[in-house]
Every structure is written in C-alpha cells, then in structure tokens.
Amino acid sequence: MRMKLNVEKDQAIGQSLEHYLTVGSKIFYQTHLNPLIKMQNSVREIYLVFQGKNAQIPVLLNFERIQTSKGEEIHCGGMEISKRNKYEKELLIAKQAAEKALEENAELIKAKNELVHHQKTLEAKYREVKSLKVQQQEVFKLIAHDLQEPLRKSIFMTSYILSKHNDLPNDIVESLSKIGSYNADMSEMLQTLLRFKELEDKALVIKDIELTQLIRDTIIELQMHNNQDIEITYPLKPINLQGDETLIKRLFKVLLRNSQKDQNHENDKLIIEILANESIQNSYVEISDKYHYDKYIKITYCDNGYGFNNSLKKIINKTDLFNKVNIGLAYCKQIIEKHSGIMEAKSVEGKGVYYKILIPFKST
Amino acid sequence: MDIIKRNNVTVKGNSQKTIIFAHGFGCDQNMWRFVTPAFEKDYKIILFDYVGCGKSDVTAYSLERYSALQGYAQDVLDICSELQLKDVIFVGHSVSSMIGLLAAIEKPYLFSSLIFIGPSARYVNDTDYEGGFSREDLEGLMDVMDKNYLGWANFLAPVVMKNEDQPELAKELEESFCSTDPVITRKFAEVTFFSDNRSDLANIDHPCLVLQCSDDAIAPDVVGEYIHDQIKSSTFEKMKATGHCPHLSHPQETIDLIQKFLNTQSHN
C-alpha cells in the first residue's frame, strides 16, 4: 500500500489518514465519517479512495474509537477493493439506469394526471374569465363615453354659472369651485381607469433596460432630483433586466408622485428608498407544491409618508387623493403582472409605504 | 402539512430568545448534541432535520422544491411560521449558513442575527474566485456518496420486510445517526456543492458571525474571509479548531465564541 501511495514509512507516521485521500473522499471524511466516529464510536464498511502514485486506490475500511490509558485512539482496518469496485460500478450504473426509467415513468403518469386535472380547471376558469371580460368591456365602454359626457357638461355648467353671475355670495362661489374641482378629479380618475383597461390588451415592447438609469431619468423628469426637501436613494451599480421601458418608467412615476402627494409634513424631509437586486425565486405563485426556480430582479420601494392605509378619518379628509393613489397603484400592479412579475404592498399608518416588486430577469 | 413532524422539529427550553440550530450536509440535528446544552438555560432551542435528512418525513421530499437552496430555506421559514418565531438567532453549519442567509433575505424581520460555522458562498473555483474545488473533485465526491451505504438498510428494509406492524424488527437494524436516503443525499450534495450565493452576500444587513476553522478542507480560510469581506455587518473569528465540524470536535471553543458574539449583540 505504501508503495502505491509512494510514501516512506517514516513519512507516513504521524500523518493523518485524510491527507492521503482524494478530494471527494476528503469531503466525505469531513461531512460523514468523522462525525459518525465521534458520535457512534464505531463505523463499518466505509468506502474511500486513496490518491495513489499512478492511480486511485479504492478501499473498504472499518473504524473503531477506543479509550486507552494514553487517551483516545482510532483504530482502522480494511482492504483494497479495486476489482470489486469495478464490478460494483457497473452494477450501480445499471441500477441508476433502471431507477431513472422507473422514476421517469412514474413522473410521466403523475404529470399526465395532473395535466388532465389542470385542463379541466383551466377550461372552467377560461369560461368564467371570458364571460367576465365581456361584461367588463361593456362597463368600461359605459365609463368611457356615457360617464365622461355628463361630467364634461357638469364641469362646463359650473364654470358657466361662475362666469355669468358676478354677484353670487362668496360661500356659493366657493362651493361651486369645489364642485368643479371634484368633477375634474373624477374625470382624471376615469382617464386612469381607461389607461388601466387599455393595458390589458396592450402588447409589451420588450427590450433590455438598465434600471438604475431609468430610475435616475424618472427622478429628473419629475424634477425631484435637486429638491432639498426630498432625499431619494437608489442603487448605484447598473442593474439590467428585460421589460417595457415606457411602462416601467410610468410605474416609477406613479410611485414617486404618490410619495410626494402623500408626504407626511411632520417629517423634515420626504425620504424615499429604492433597493434592487437579483434574487432566485419560485416562479409558481398560485399553484402550491410546484417549484421552479428562476432569476428575478427584486425591487423594494419605501418612503416615510402617511402610507396609503390611513385611518378612516384621514381617508375622508382627503378622499380625492386617496382614490387617485389607489387607482394608480392598481395600474402599477397591472404593469408588473403584465411582465409576469409580482407586486406586494404593505403600509403602516404614519410610517409610509413599502412595496416589494419582483420582475423576471428574462422576459418570456 | 404537519411541519413539526415533517422536519422532525425538537424544541428545548422556553426562554423568550430563540436559537435555531441548522445542520449541514451529512448527518442531522444530532450534530449539535455537544453544543446545545450550554444554551438551554437562557434560550429556547429549536433543532430540526431538513426534509430528506435524519428522521424527517422523506415522503415530503420534492425533487423540484429541493433543487435549489431556496427550497431548504423554505423549510427554515416554514418552521419559523409554524412556531410563530421572531427575532430568531440562526446558527447554521456549513451549507446551512447560506440557507440561513437566503431565509433572512426573504423574511428579514424574522431574524435578529446569523451565525455561520464553516460557511462557503461557492465551492467550485471560478475565474478570480477560489472556492477550493474543481468539478472533477466533486465528481469524486459523488462516487464516494454512491458507494457508501450508511443506513441504507433503514430505508430499504421497511419495503422489503413489510413489517410496518412489527416495529421491533426495524429496531434491530443498525442505528445510524447519519442514516440517509441515498438518492436524496446525492441530490443534496449536488445542490450544496454546485451552489453559488456570492451575489446574495451583499443583500444582508443583519449582524453575522463567521466562525472559520483552521485547516478546513471544505471551507478554507480564503472562502470564510471572502464572506466576511462581502457582508459589511459581519464579525470574523478564526478558530483553533481544525476540520469542518468544530461543534463536534471542539464544542467548548464553539460555545464560547457564539456566546461572546451573542453577548456583544445584547449590549448593542
């Protein structure tokens, strides 16, 4: 054995067994064998491979830990099993092939059953969605044309009265102006709703985007970059992903504008923190017990504003604002979902908003 | 799904502060037996086996779920949510360090600090990175894994002997602490040794402790130092302990260093 290992007797004395093993066997020695000797005192029939001078030497060893008067000793004995190993190797290959075939067969049958089941569910869902979509389309048509029209007339009538009658008492003027601005807000909300609806059938224009630059550009466009009352942090290094640039930009515009509108004036500054990094996630969200790991870009967005989930009183105080914020958010969520991503929102009253966005690294 | 049964979860002590000890590749929660008694007085201790290891419910194993370390991280998160744990101190050995890291990135609010024993963010050498192993080395490991039948009989015997109603027969089988299902263990080896978590290291800001053993063939010094470099909030301790399992070979040093770290944490 020493010849095969190319070591002299005096070299071998005092050297650890691990020293003569192949790297793979060293890992096994550390992760399995050593712990077992420690915990069980005795381990039998362990297969290890020595790194010989010319070739690897497979061995089968027994280990025994004994307490002697001199302390702890580990005794080890065994034999080389080169020939037996060759035969065993063939056996294992055949066994693995057989197991693989069995497993594939079992998986196929399981997959087929699942498929049939999913197809049935899918068919039912499809019908449901189809009928819902027809209904929805009707409703949106109504909003688009029928609702905008009286709203326009109402806005017109309000300003007509205000311009025709200069002698109206102040409180009436004030109330009429309020009615005018409520109507204008409602009209804007309808616009957002329509844009939201349009997005449903819109085909994405997918290309490579550099996220850091996109965020920077959006901040500049909104003129939030050299405002002393706003502090925005975002990633420094470039982050690449694929997506629809216009839509992703619109998403950040909505989020940043919301933060600005929903600012908590008790704070000295509006602080917005945007983080982004790569993350491996299970791409099955709705189906439980299914796993497929994919690369995502994970974006977290938080601010120190009021948060959108305000108490009822606050919501009533600024009803117009609250509604706009939420339609905007629904729009953002839809943008992300169009990218096969996920958007989650959390908000603590008085502590600001927290959004977690996951966008697939590669668009499909 | 009964998570407690699935992961063979053991809870000891009932103090407020919780430590989860997560075993590494090879063996199971028994690996912690020399270390945990020192913490039982002051902490609630959670021990468990990953699905497919030790006395976990092997039927819960899913090839897809456990094809990435994220699947194992989900085991940790499942246990936290089942036991309604928070502010958890996570102690992970070997590959469990990166599993804990992934869990803490996913749900940062569940963890207060992380302790890594012999961690490695990547085992295979790469351009400009020395993990310690070549692909051929790891093929060698797979060969050794395939031909060692630790507790093999324990997994096959119930099927062959059809003795579910005579459990005493199963008892006659060799009791092995590292009983492993060969197919699952091989998969775990692949997932472990071919993982690459280098880019995740920058995404954590919890206090972390890196315990680096001397002469660790699996996680050499450079690998531990790399992790310490990349995690800004980390503390690095070079141990006198040699090998890859200081919690078995040098339990007292391991206990002392963990306690030292936890004491500095509680003063902050």
- Predicted TM-score of the model (pTM): 0.71
For B81, list phi and psi in degrees, rounded to 5.
-75, -35
Please name the helix (run of DSSP H) or strand (run of DSSP E) that holds residue B117, with its range, or none.
strand B111-117
Residues of chain B with C-beta less than 8 angstroms from the C-beta of A28: 26, 141, 144-145, 148
3-state secondary structure at position A154? helix
Distance CA A67, CA A75 (A): 11
Strands (E), A223-309: 230-233, 240-244, 270-282, 293-303
Look at B68 and A39 and tell me if their CB atoms are within 8 Å. Answer: no
Place of tokens 């007509």: A160
* pLDDT interval class at B8 (50, 70, 90): very high
Q: Do B70 and A24 touch (CB under 8 A)?
A: no
What average pLDDT does the structure give for chain A?
Answer: 85
Q: How confident is the model at residue A315 (pLDDT cuts 50, 70, 90)?
A: very low
CB-CB neighbors (< 8 A) of A27 in chain B:
137, 141, 144, 193, 217-218
The Cα B9–Cα B31 span in angstroms is 14
Given CB atoms, is B243 within the 8 Å cutoff of chain A? yes
Contact criterion met (CB below 8 Å) for A232 and A263? no
Choose the CATH number for B3-123+196-267 among 3.40.50.12780, 3.40.50.2300, 3.40.50.1820, 3.30.310.50.
3.40.50.1820
DSSP characters over A67-100: EETTEEEEEEEEEE-HHHHHHHHHHHHHHHHHHH
Give the pLDDT confidence of B145-161 residue by residue, as tens digits.
Answer: 888 877 555 544 444 44
**Per-residue pLDDT tens over the stretch B162-201:** 444 545 544 444 455 566 677 788 899 999 999 999 999 9
Here the tokens at position B17 are: 């502060």
Residues B229, B236: Cα–Cα separation, whole Å: 9
A60 in Cβ contact with A78 (< 8 Å): yes
Residue A97 pLDDT > 70: yes
Rounded Cα gap, residues B4 and A30, in angstroms: 29
Contact B248 A39 (CB under 8 A): yes
**Ranges for all domains in chain A classified under CATH 3.30.450.20:** 2-80
Q: For residues A321 and B48, which has the higher predicted lDDT (pLDDT)?
A: B48
Residue positions of B annotated with a catalytic role: 94, 216, 244
The pLDDT value recorded for residue B6 is: 95
Domain A203-360 classified CATH 3.30.565.10?
yes
List C-alpha distances in Å: B7 to A277, B47, B58, B74: 31, 9, 9, 11
**Could you tell me which chain A residue has the CA closest to the CA of B249?**
A38
Q: Where are the domains of chain B?
A: 3-123+196-267
Name the residue with higher pLDDT: A326 or A319.
A326
Both tokens of B226, joined, read 């790399």
**CA separation for the pair B48, B28 (Å, rounded):** 8
Residue A312's pLDDT is what?
40
Give the containing element (helix H, strand E) for A322.
helix A319-338
User: Is residue B62 less than 8 Å (CB to CB) from chain A?
Assistant: yes
List pLDDT tens digits, range A251-272: 999 899 888 877 888 888 999 9
Domain A2-80 has CATH 3.40.50.11060: no
DSSP B192-235: HHT-B-GGGGGG--S-EEEEEEET-SSS-HHHHHHHHHH-TTEE
Strand order in the sheet with A42-51: A42-51, A56-68, A71-80
Q: What digits encode the pLDDT tens for the residues A105-124?
A: 988 999 999 999 998 898 88
Out of A158-167, A187-196, A315-324, B94-103, least confident range: A315-324
- Contact across the interface for B245 and A40, Cβ inside 8 Å: no
Mean pLDDT in chain B?
A: 88
Reported residue count of chain A is 364
pLDDT digits (tens, 9 = 90+) for A141-198: 777 778 888 888 999 999 999 889 888 899 999 999 889 888 887 887 787 777 777 8
